[in-house]
A and B are shown apart, each in its own frame.
Chain A
Amino acid sequence: MIVASFSNVLVWAIWVAAAFACLASGIAVISFTNPFYASLSLIGNLASLAVMYLLLSAEFVAAAQVLVYAGAVMVMFLFVTAYLGNRADAPWAGAPSWQTLGAVAACSALFVEVIVVVGLKTSGRLSHQGEIDSAFGRPREIGRLFLTDHLLAFEITSIVLLIAAVGGVILGSRSRDTPMKGAQQ
């Protein structure tokens, strides 16, 4: 009993640390003026999210998150930031305008709406958590689901990735270097 309650406290402590790191780095991403620091904050956000995925026994998704996002996507972001140099800096535009205040109000309203809907509609129904066995979230189970129930999603994902790769090559190729007519500086 004591061991069980200690384990519960430990899980809560890890969750609180991960959630705090997640929210703080999320706010840091949208408030840094230097995109390099913003990208590094997003790595912290992704890592704390991976910790939460582990707490939810989604081990394969946590590993894929770290490999795909922190490994591949963030390297691309940092390369593009380094390529752009100080042109990529995004200073704040002085005093907050009415547009900024409206955006803050709209996003706060969105958050309050989510909390209210979750609190009102699901408080009674979501109290009972389903039981899982040790196979839940393992690569074997994910692969079985991908190749049986969700085969169409799997194939469409591969086509989407192929099209994105071809599009990235076309957008980045130097042969289309002619300046656009009527382009504003």
Chain B
Amino acid sequence: MKGPDVVWYLCVAGFLFSTGALGVLIRRSPLIVLLSLEIMLNGANLALIAFSRHFAQGDGQIFALTVMAVAASEVVVGLGLIVAIARQKLALDVDKLSTLRG
């Protein structure tokens, strides 16, 4: 069982990361920005696990699991913020949430 090389996985990971970055940049709904952040983190995870398999070391998978825990925490805090924003009757638009801008 050979399958594709690590380079192919890196190409997919790079594409996923750029897709997520594009979503963060062009979408204005905070929910979809959070979803795009998940895509970026998953692209990084795929690269970590591909290198972990390539070098036959388990440490990359440890990093990937840590990244998953951090992503879960980020989603909890981000969704809590979105619910708080919605409860304050503010617009759900990251361009209009500029109260903190100096």
- Residues on A facing B (Cβ under 8 Å): 7-8, 11-12, 15, 19, 22-23, 26-27, 29-30, 32, 35, 38-39, 42, 45-46, 49, 52-53, 55-58, 60-61, 64-65, 68-69, 72-73, 76-77, 80-81, 83-84, 87-90, 93, 99-100, 103-104, 106-108, 110-111, 114-115, 118-119, 122-123, 126-127, 129-132, 136-137, 141-142, 145-146, 149-150, 153, 157, 160-161, 163-165, 167-168, 170-172, 176-177, 179-180, 182-185
Which residues of A are found within 8 Å of B84, using beta-carbon distances? 171-172, 176
Asked if residues B22 and A90 are in contact (CB atoms below 8 Å), the reply is: no
- The CA of A69 and the CA of B55, in the complex, are separated in Å by 26
Residues of chain B at interface, number, CB under 8 A: 77
Q: B residues within 8 A CB of A15?
A: 3-4, 8
B residues adjacent to A (C-beta < 8 A): 1-12, 14-23, 25-29, 31-32, 34-36, 38-39, 42, 45-46, 49-50, 52-59, 61-62, 64-66, 68-77, 79-84, 86-92, 96, 99
